[in-house]
Each structure stands twice: as C-alpha cells, then as structure tokens.
Amino acid sequence: MTRTTTRAAVLRAMGAARPYADSRPLAIETVTLDPPGPGEVLVAIKAAGLCHSDLSVINGDRPRPMPMTLGHEAAGVVEALGEGVTDLVVGDHVVMVFMPSCGHCNPCAEGRPALCEPGAAANGKGELLTGGKRIHRDGESLNHHLGCSAFAERAVVSRRSLVKIDPALSFAEAALFGCAVLTGVGAVVNTARLRAGQSAVVVGLGGVGLASVLGSLASGATPVIAVDLSEDKLALARTLGPVQTVNAADPDAVDQVRALTRGGADFVFEMAGSVRALEAAWKMTRRGGTTITAGLPPPDAALPVNVVSLVGEERTLKGSYIGTCVPGRDIPRYVALYRQGRLPVDRLMSGTISLDDINAGFDRLHAGEVVRLVVTF
C-alpha cells in the first residue's frame, strides 16, 4: 500500500487567545499518512464530535505533545487493513475509542481495558498503541491525539481503537458513542452500578453529563436531578424524561438538591471538570453515598476532603475513566438501547459543521452554547 494524503486539523501550540475563530489555533493542513502497518486500520472519517477533552488541549489545561492532530470522538468506514487484521473488512462501519487496550497488561487481564497501561503510555507520547507515529508533513512527524486524530478526512489507528457498529446508525450519531455516551452512560451503569429506585444527581450538563442523565433514566433512578449553570441546558435535561433541575448559580443549590433527595443522593456524578463542581457534588451526596467524577480539571487541581466525614459517614469518592468501559461489549449495548428508544442520544446533537469551521465551533463549545457539535465529512 502507498501513503495517503488527507486534510486534518493540526494544533501546533496550546494556549491561543480566544476567540478561536480569529486566532485559529487549529490549522487545516494537508498531511500524509503511512499505510496501515500490522494490527492497524485506515479509516475514512465520516463524523467527529467536538469535546471538552479536545478543548482542554487547545487551551492548555491538558498538556499534550505538540504538534498534534486533534479529535478523539468519531465514526467512519474501514478503507484498508494492515497485516493481521482479520476481524474487519473494507466497508465496515466503526466507532473510535480513545483508550486502546492491549489485552495483556494487568488491568486488561482483570477486565478493565479503560485502564490499559500500554494504551495510556502510547496516548501520553502521542503515538499509536502499535508504536510510533503515522502522520507526517514536510518531513515532520505529527503526534496522534489519544490514538485517534479524528479531525481529519482519514486516520490510521490501531485495530484496538475500533469497535464495529451497525451500519444503519448515522455517522453523526455513532460518533457520540465513542466518548460522550461511553463515558456518561458507563459512569452510571459500570462505575456506579446504579440500581432502579436509587437517586442520581448529575453536575455539569455537557455531552458526557447529559449522557449520564440518559443513563440514570434508563437505569430507573428516582429522582434524577440535573445541575448546571446554563438554563438552556437545564431546559434540555427536562425534555429527556422525569428530570428535576437546579441552577448551580443559586446560593442554596446544594440545599435544594439535599431537600429533593431527603438528605443527599445515593450517587452524584460530577461531569463539569472543575474542583468547585466536585466540592458541590460531594456536599450533595448522602451519608453512605458515592460521589463519582469523570470530569478532567487541569493536572494540578486538588480536592480538599474532610476525612472525618469520609470515614464517619462511610462515603465513597470514585473516579470513572471512559465509563469503566469494555468498549466491544458496551458500545453495541448502548446502540441497541438507542435503537429501542431507551437512550435518546440524538437529543444531545447540537448540529453539524464543516472541518473548516472547527475553530468557531470550539468558541461555541467554550461558551456553553452547544452540547455536541459534530464535524461531518
């Protein structure tokens, strides 16, 4: 196979000034892709969602090696297969998963592929799980974003970054299952293992948070309470089902939640990526309850915890990464729930944009104007 050229959104430096529509931190460049090597796949990207995890690289909150082709929440079509890839065929529809799993390290052997050690190491270095980099421009190798680099017309990825999906699902909807749905719903059903009748509060109503609301409703939680600063997002949450809402800007927001849950919720999910939101979530959790965070604040963020309440109230504080998922198991399950009408993921879609409009799209995401914008190709 020969090399392939593709247009891609390349970030060469973090911390650009806003508005991004003016500073244009993401440059649309023509890059060259190596052919897929052993265990790798060339994917034609059809849709890629704009996520706060991308935004946090652009603004420098989550430092990554530069230059980098961004994008990690995507769906597409298999175009070519590297040596040894026998369980996919050209034309298959796939969703990308931003933590590839080797299948052999201790976490993978324990059934926790979201914590794959070689996958985390590869992501940190901007490489594929199979080793090295496959994106080049003018003799320079570009870093991969979480093994995906999906803000591009095409991408070479590890086979272990892909899950085959039902081709009847639209690409724009399918893309959301690789991050927002996998993380948000997974936090409810895998990390919390929430049971019907237990109470759930979700703090932060981005794509992941609203997916947690959907997961809580599908799991039979009662009540389900959504908390955010945006009245528009609170209104959207109320349209998803029997959801009560509290504006996080209210001085008595914590007291409101504790009153609605008779002293605190069984599970409180913090999805805003802020220490202040996590502190509020902790206060909204009942004695014996569990606070779960999937938000990713800057690496130096720290949470002060009252150890006496942790012990004396038998509290639990848990992290959830990619919804404690097993991607090959969970994505098809969540797609099936969507097809049954029990997980209306399409309600999270704020619209589609072109690759050329991606910088303005991140302005809208930063401003909280959208839940999920999707670049379509």
Q: Pairing state of beta strands 285-293 and 265-270? A: parallel
Q: Order of strands across the sheet with 243-247?
A: 243-247, 224-228, 200-203, 265-270, 285-293, 316-319
Fill in the amino acid letter for 144.
Answer: H
pTM: 0.96
In the DSSP assignment, the letter for residue 336 is H
pLDDT of 24: 98
Long-range contacts of residues 247-254, Cβ cutoff 8 Å, at least 24 apart: 248/203, 248/277, 248/280, 253/227, 253/280, 254/280, 254/283, 254/284
Q: Which tokens go with 156?
A: 């070479």
Cis peptide, bond prior to residue 223, ω within 30 of zero: yes
pLDDT of 323: 97
Residue 62 · residue 75 · CB < 8 Å? no
pLDDT of 156: 98
Residue 305: count other Cβ atoms within 10 Å of its Cβ. 14
Helices 231-239, 207-218: axis angle to 10 degrees equals 30
Residue with tokens 């460049």: 29
In the DSSP assignment, the letter for residue 214 is H
Q: Pairing state of beta strands 140-144 and 224-228? A: unpaired
**Measured between alpha carbons, how far is 192 from 183 in angstroms, rounded to an integer?**
12
pLDDT of 2: 87
pLDDT of 315: 95
pLDDT of 305: 87
Q: What is the mean pLDDT of each successive set of 10 residues along the chain, which is 377 residues long?
A: 94 97 98 98 98 96 96 98 98 97 96 97 98 96 98 98 96 97 98 98 97 98 98 97 97 98 98 95 97 89 87 96 96 96 95 98 96 97
Q: Which tokens go with 154?
A: 């095409």
Q: Which tokens go with 93?
A: 């529809």
pLDDT of 297: 83
Fill in the amino acid letter for 235.
Answer: A
**Measured between alpha carbons, how far is 324 from 238 in angstroms, rounded to an integer?**
27
Spatial CB neighbours of 377, under 8 Å, sequence gap ≥ 6:
44, 45, 46, 47, 48, 153, 355
Residue 36 · residue 156 · CB < 8 Å? yes
